[in-house]
Amino acid sequence: MKNNTNNIVEVKNLSKNYGKINAVDGISFEVKSGEVFGMLGPNGAGKTTTVEIIEGIRQPDKGETFINGLNTIIDNKQIKKIIGVQLQQNAFFDYLNIYEIIDFYSKLYGNKTKTIDLLKKVELIEKKNSKYKELSGGQKQRLSIAIALVNDPLVLFLDEPTTGLDPQARRHVWNLIKQIRLEGSTIIMTTHYMEEAEELCDRVAIIDTGKIVALDTPGNLIDKLIDKGFKPKRTIKKASLDDVFLDLTGQNLRGD
Protein backbone atom coordinates (compact mmCIF):
# COMPACT_ATOMS: atom_id res chain seq x y z
CA MET A 1 0.00 0.00 0.00
CA LYS A 2 1.50 3.26 -1.08
CA ASN A 3 0.77 6.21 1.14
CA ASN A 4 1.81 9.33 -0.63
CA THR A 5 1.36 12.06 1.99
CA ASN A 6 0.49 14.52 -0.71
CA ASN A 7 -2.30 12.42 -2.19
CA ILE A 8 -5.08 11.91 0.32
CA VAL A 9 -7.33 10.06 -2.13
CA GLU A 10 -6.10 7.58 -4.72
CA VAL A 11 -8.39 5.96 -7.27
CA LYS A 12 -6.89 3.13 -9.29
CA ASN A 13 -8.41 1.71 -12.46
CA LEU A 14 -12.01 1.66 -11.21
CA SER A 15 -14.71 -0.18 -13.18
CA LYS A 16 -18.35 -0.87 -12.48
CA ASN A 17 -20.92 -2.40 -14.80
CA TYR A 18 -24.69 -2.41 -14.50
CA GLY A 19 -25.69 -5.20 -16.83
CA LYS A 20 -24.14 -4.28 -20.17
CA ILE A 21 -23.65 -0.63 -19.28
CA ASN A 22 -20.13 0.38 -18.19
CA ALA A 23 -21.11 3.02 -15.64
CA VAL A 24 -17.47 3.43 -14.64
CA ASP A 25 -14.86 2.32 -17.14
CA GLY A 26 -11.26 2.34 -15.87
CA ILE A 27 -11.12 5.60 -13.92
CA SER A 28 -7.88 6.59 -12.11
CA PHE A 29 -6.98 9.85 -10.40
CA GLU A 30 -5.47 11.30 -7.23
CA VAL A 31 -6.71 14.07 -4.99
CA LYS A 32 -4.21 16.19 -3.08
CA SER A 33 -4.71 17.03 0.55
CA GLY A 34 -6.55 20.35 0.95
CA GLU A 35 -7.74 20.72 -2.63
CA VAL A 36 -11.24 20.98 -3.99
CA PHE A 37 -11.52 18.33 -6.67
CA GLY A 38 -14.42 18.55 -9.09
CA MET A 39 -15.98 15.80 -11.15
CA LEU A 40 -17.89 17.20 -14.09
CA GLY A 41 -20.04 15.47 -16.56
CA PRO A 42 -23.53 15.13 -18.00
CA ASN A 43 -26.19 13.15 -16.15
CA GLY A 44 -25.46 9.44 -16.26
CA ALA A 45 -21.74 9.95 -16.97
CA GLY A 46 -20.71 7.88 -13.94
CA LYS A 47 -19.88 10.67 -11.46
CA THR A 48 -22.14 9.49 -8.67
CA THR A 49 -21.19 5.82 -9.07
CA THR A 50 -17.48 6.74 -8.86
CA VAL A 51 -18.02 8.88 -5.79
CA GLU A 52 -20.12 6.20 -4.09
CA ILE A 53 -17.42 3.58 -4.68
CA ILE A 54 -14.83 5.90 -3.07
CA GLU A 55 -17.23 6.48 -0.15
CA GLY A 56 -17.44 2.72 0.32
CA ILE A 57 -21.20 2.31 -0.20
CA ARG A 58 -20.82 0.60 -3.59
CA GLN A 59 -18.53 -2.24 -4.56
CA PRO A 60 -16.42 -1.79 -7.70
CA ASP A 61 -16.14 -4.68 -10.20
CA LYS A 62 -12.48 -3.86 -10.70
CA GLY A 63 -9.90 -1.52 -9.23
CA GLU A 64 -9.36 -0.11 -5.77
CA THR A 65 -9.47 3.18 -3.94
CA PHE A 66 -7.54 4.54 -0.96
CA ILE A 67 -8.31 7.35 1.42
CA ASN A 68 -5.45 8.46 3.67
CA GLY A 69 -3.75 5.16 2.84
CA LEU A 70 -6.76 3.04 3.85
CA ASN A 71 -8.34 0.64 1.38
CA THR A 72 -12.00 1.52 0.91
CA ILE A 73 -13.17 -2.09 0.86
CA ILE A 74 -10.86 -3.63 3.47
CA ASP A 75 -10.86 -0.72 5.93
CA ASN A 76 -14.44 0.26 5.21
CA LYS A 77 -15.32 1.09 8.80
CA GLN A 78 -12.20 3.22 9.40
CA ILE A 79 -12.84 5.05 6.13
CA LYS A 80 -16.37 5.92 7.19
CA LYS A 81 -15.02 7.53 10.37
CA ILE A 82 -12.79 9.96 8.45
CA ILE A 83 -15.07 10.95 5.58
CA GLY A 84 -18.10 13.20 5.46
CA VAL A 85 -20.75 12.49 2.86
CA GLN A 86 -23.51 14.49 1.30
CA LEU A 87 -25.53 12.18 -0.91
CA GLN A 88 -27.26 13.40 -4.02
CA GLN A 89 -30.65 12.51 -2.53
CA ASN A 90 -30.90 13.17 1.13
CA ALA A 91 -33.52 12.12 3.62
CA PHE A 92 -33.59 12.58 7.35
CA PHE A 93 -35.96 11.68 10.14
CA ASP A 94 -39.46 13.17 9.93
CA TYR A 95 -40.17 13.53 13.60
CA LEU A 96 -36.94 15.13 14.78
CA ASN A 97 -36.04 18.80 14.50
CA ILE A 98 -32.89 20.09 12.78
CA TYR A 99 -30.93 20.33 16.02
CA GLU A 100 -31.87 16.78 17.04
CA ILE A 101 -31.01 15.36 13.62
CA ILE A 102 -27.49 16.88 13.61
CA ASP A 103 -27.03 15.89 17.25
CA PHE A 104 -28.05 12.30 16.46
CA TYR A 105 -25.48 11.97 13.66
CA SER A 106 -22.88 13.67 15.85
CA LYS A 107 -23.42 11.02 18.54
CA LEU A 108 -22.84 8.25 16.00
CA TYR A 109 -19.26 9.53 15.66
CA GLY A 110 -18.79 10.18 19.37
CA ASN A 111 -19.58 13.93 19.47
CA LYS A 112 -16.51 15.31 17.67
CA THR A 113 -18.23 18.62 16.97
CA LYS A 114 -20.71 20.85 18.73
CA THR A 115 -24.11 20.83 17.09
CA ILE A 116 -24.61 24.54 17.83
CA ASP A 117 -21.32 25.39 16.07
CA LEU A 118 -22.36 23.42 13.00
CA LEU A 119 -25.75 25.12 12.93
CA LYS A 120 -23.99 28.50 13.06
CA LYS A 121 -21.54 27.48 10.33
CA VAL A 122 -24.32 26.57 7.89
CA GLU A 123 -26.48 29.49 9.08
CA LEU A 124 -29.39 27.35 10.22
CA ILE A 125 -29.31 28.39 13.86
CA GLU A 126 -32.69 30.12 13.55
CA LYS A 127 -34.17 26.96 12.07
CA LYS A 128 -32.95 24.64 14.78
CA ASN A 129 -36.48 23.77 15.94
CA SER A 130 -37.85 23.23 12.43
CA LYS A 131 -38.51 19.88 10.83
CA TYR A 132 -36.55 18.76 7.74
CA LYS A 133 -39.60 18.97 5.47
CA GLU A 134 -40.17 22.59 6.52
CA LEU A 135 -36.81 23.71 5.08
CA SER A 136 -36.29 25.29 1.66
CA GLY A 137 -34.12 23.55 -0.93
CA GLY A 138 -31.00 25.56 -0.03
CA GLN A 139 -31.55 25.01 3.68
CA LYS A 140 -31.92 21.27 3.12
CA GLN A 141 -28.59 21.22 1.26
CA ARG A 142 -26.88 23.22 4.00
CA LEU A 143 -28.30 20.83 6.62
CA SER A 144 -26.94 17.83 4.76
CA ILE A 145 -23.54 19.57 4.52
CA ALA A 146 -23.67 20.22 8.28
CA ILE A 147 -24.40 16.53 8.87
CA ALA A 148 -21.50 15.60 6.57
CA LEU A 149 -19.26 17.73 8.84
CA VAL A 150 -20.27 16.18 12.21
CA ASN A 151 -17.10 14.06 12.37
CA ASP A 152 -14.77 16.89 11.27
CA PRO A 153 -13.87 14.78 8.20
CA LEU A 154 -10.53 14.57 6.42
CA VAL A 155 -12.34 14.30 3.11
CA LEU A 156 -15.74 15.78 2.37
CA PHE A 157 -17.82 14.39 -0.50
CA LEU A 158 -20.48 16.63 -2.02
CA ASP A 159 -22.64 15.08 -4.73
CA GLU A 160 -24.30 17.83 -6.78
CA PRO A 161 -24.62 20.18 -3.81
CA THR A 162 -26.44 22.95 -5.70
CA THR A 163 -28.64 21.07 -8.15
CA GLY A 164 -32.12 22.56 -8.18
CA LEU A 165 -31.22 25.68 -6.17
CA ASP A 166 -31.93 29.27 -7.21
CA PRO A 167 -28.92 31.60 -7.84
CA GLN A 168 -28.97 33.15 -4.36
CA ALA A 169 -29.16 29.79 -2.59
CA ARG A 170 -26.41 28.50 -4.87
CA ARG A 171 -24.06 31.38 -3.98
CA HIS A 172 -24.83 30.72 -0.34
CA VAL A 173 -23.76 27.07 -0.65
CA TRP A 174 -20.66 28.18 -2.62
CA ASN A 175 -19.62 30.53 0.18
CA LEU A 176 -20.07 27.70 2.65
CA ILE A 177 -17.90 25.35 0.55
CA LYS A 178 -15.19 28.05 0.25
CA GLN A 179 -15.24 28.52 4.02
CA ILE A 180 -14.90 24.75 4.63
CA ARG A 181 -12.02 24.67 2.15
CA LEU A 182 -10.25 27.52 4.01
CA GLU A 183 -10.44 25.44 7.18
CA GLY A 184 -8.26 22.84 5.44
CA SER A 185 -10.68 20.10 4.40
CA THR A 186 -10.20 18.17 1.21
CA ILE A 187 -13.38 18.27 -0.87
CA ILE A 188 -14.46 16.00 -3.70
CA MET A 189 -17.54 17.31 -5.44
CA THR A 190 -19.61 16.45 -8.48
CA THR A 191 -21.53 18.99 -10.45
CA HIS A 192 -22.88 19.59 -13.90
CA TYR A 193 -22.63 23.37 -13.56
CA MET A 194 -19.44 24.60 -15.21
CA GLU A 195 -19.48 27.98 -13.51
CA GLU A 196 -19.68 26.16 -10.18
CA ALA A 197 -16.59 24.12 -10.99
CA GLU A 198 -14.77 27.22 -12.20
CA GLU A 199 -15.68 29.11 -9.03
CA LEU A 200 -14.83 26.40 -6.51
CA CYS A 201 -12.53 23.69 -7.86
CA ASP A 202 -8.73 23.62 -7.89
CA ARG A 203 -8.76 20.78 -10.39
CA VAL A 204 -11.54 19.14 -12.33
CA ALA A 205 -11.97 15.76 -14.00
CA ILE A 206 -14.40 15.78 -16.90
CA ILE A 207 -16.14 12.43 -17.11
CA ASP A 208 -18.17 11.07 -20.00
CA THR A 209 -19.55 7.54 -20.49
CA GLY A 210 -17.59 6.26 -17.50
CA LYS A 211 -14.19 7.58 -18.58
CA ILE A 212 -12.13 10.61 -17.62
CA VAL A 213 -11.77 12.67 -20.80
CA ALA A 214 -9.79 15.54 -19.24
CA LEU A 215 -8.18 16.32 -15.88
CA ASP A 216 -6.55 19.67 -15.05
CA THR A 217 -7.13 23.01 -13.39
CA PRO A 218 -10.10 24.94 -14.84
CA GLY A 219 -7.70 27.64 -16.08
CA ASN A 220 -5.45 25.16 -17.90
CA LEU A 221 -8.42 23.40 -19.49
CA ILE A 222 -9.69 26.72 -20.88
CA ASP A 223 -6.19 27.69 -22.08
CA LYS A 224 -5.78 24.35 -23.88
CA LEU A 225 -9.08 24.87 -25.64
CA ILE A 226 -8.07 28.36 -26.76
CA ASP A 227 -4.65 27.01 -27.88
CA LYS A 228 -6.52 24.61 -30.16
CA GLY A 229 -7.90 27.71 -31.88
CA PHE A 230 -11.33 27.71 -30.24
CA LYS A 231 -13.52 30.71 -31.02
CA PRO A 232 -16.55 31.30 -28.82
CA LYS A 233 -19.85 31.40 -30.69
CA ARG A 234 -20.72 34.69 -29.07
CA THR A 235 -18.57 37.37 -27.56
CA ILE A 236 -18.02 37.04 -23.85
CA LYS A 237 -19.23 40.03 -21.95
CA LYS A 238 -17.71 41.23 -18.73
CA ALA A 239 -20.80 40.10 -16.81
CA SER A 240 -23.20 37.17 -17.18
CA LEU A 241 -26.99 37.04 -17.00
CA ASP A 242 -26.49 35.38 -13.63
CA ASP A 243 -24.75 38.56 -12.45
CA VAL A 244 -27.62 40.69 -13.82
CA PHE A 245 -30.14 38.56 -11.96
CA LEU A 246 -28.22 38.76 -8.71
CA ASP A 247 -27.70 42.51 -9.13
CA LEU A 248 -31.43 43.03 -9.57
CA THR A 249 -32.68 40.62 -6.91
CA GLY A 250 -29.86 41.05 -4.42
CA GLN A 251 -26.95 38.86 -3.37
CA ASN A 252 -28.51 38.24 -0.04
CA LEU A 253 -30.68 35.33 0.73
CA ARG A 254 -34.29 35.94 1.30
CA GLY A 255 -36.05 33.61 3.67
CA ASP A 256 -33.61 30.95 2.61
Partner 1 sequence: MKIYSAIILASMKMYYRNKHAIIWSLVFPVTIMLIFGMFNFERYNPPKLGINDLSNNQISKDLINSFNSFQKEKILEIDIDIQTNLENKLINGDIDGFIIIPKNFGLKNNISDIEVSYDKNKIEEKSAIKIIITNSITDLFNKNNRIPEDYKIESSYSITEKNIVTNAQGFKGFLVPGIAAMAIMQTGLFSVVFTLIRFKVSGVLRRLNVTPIGSSHFIIGQMITRVILIIIQTYLIILIGIIILGVSIGKGDPLVWIEIGIISLIGGLVFLAMGLGISGWATDENMAAPLTNLIALPMMFLSGVFFPLSVMPNWVINIAQFFPLTFLADSIRSVSLDGLSLIDISGEILGLIIWLFIALIIAVKTFKWE
In the bound complex, what is the minimum distance in angstroms from residue 189's beta carbon to partner 1? 15
Specify the stretch interacting with partner 1 by CB under 8 A; choose among 81-89, 173-181, 212-220, 246-254. 81-89
Sheet order of strands, 36-40 included: 83-86, 155-159, 186-191, 36-40, 203-208, 211-216
In the bound complex, what is the minimum distance in angstroms from residue 13's beta carbon to partner 1? 23
- Nearest one of 87, 17, 29 to 59, comparing CA atoms: 17
Residue whose CB is less far from partner 1, 115 or 218 = 115
In the bound complex, what is the minimum distance in angstroms from residue 60's beta carbon to partner 1? 16
Q: According to the binding rule CB under 8 A, does residue 71 interact with partner 1? A: no
Q: Rounded CA gap, 150 and 140, in Å?
A: 16
Q: According to the binding rule CB under 8 A, does residue 104 interact with partner 1? A: yes
Q: According to the binding rule CB under 8 A, does residue 56 interact with partner 1? A: yes
In the bound complex, what is the minimum distance in angstroms from residue 107's beta carbon to partner 1? 4
- Nearest one of 141, 85, 128 to 108, comparing CA atoms: 85
Alpha carbons within 13 angstroms on the beta-carbon side of residue 121 total 25
Q: According to the binding rule CB under 8 A, does residue 66 interact with partner 1? A: no
210: left (phi over 0), alpha (psi -120 to 50) or beta: left
Tell me the number of residues near partner 1 by CB under 8 A: 24
Strands 83-86 and 186-191: unpaired
Q: According to the binding rule CB under 8 A, does residue 109 interact with partner 1? A: yes
b/e 189-209 (16+ beta carbons within 10 angstroms → b) = bbbebeebbebbbebbbbbee
Q: According to the binding rule CB under 8 A, does residue 107 interact with partner 1? A: yes
Residue whose CB is less far from partner 1, 85 or 212 = 85
In the bound complex, what is the minimum distance in angstroms from residue 58's beta carbon to partner 1? 10
Q: Which residues pair with 159 in a beta bridge?
A: 190
Q: Rounded CA gap, 251 and 242, in Å?
A: 11
Q: Contact, 182 vs 174, CB < 8 A?
A: no
Q: According to the binding rule CB under 8 A, does residue 94 interact with partner 1? A: yes
Q: According to the binding rule CB under 8 A, does residue 112 interact with partner 1? A: no
In the bound complex, what is the minimum distance in angstroms from residue 53's beta carbon to partner 1? 12
Specify the stretch interacting with partner 1 by CB under 8 A; choose among 20-28, 74-82, 119-127, 192-200. 74-82
Specify the stretch interacting with partner 1 by CB under 8 A; choose among 76-84, 117-125, 180-188, 197-205. 76-84
Of the candidate residues 1, 74, 108, 239, the single one contacting partner 1 (CB under 8 A): 108
List residues near partner 1 by CB under 8 A: 55-57, 77, 80-81, 83, 85, 87, 89-96, 100, 104-105, 107-110
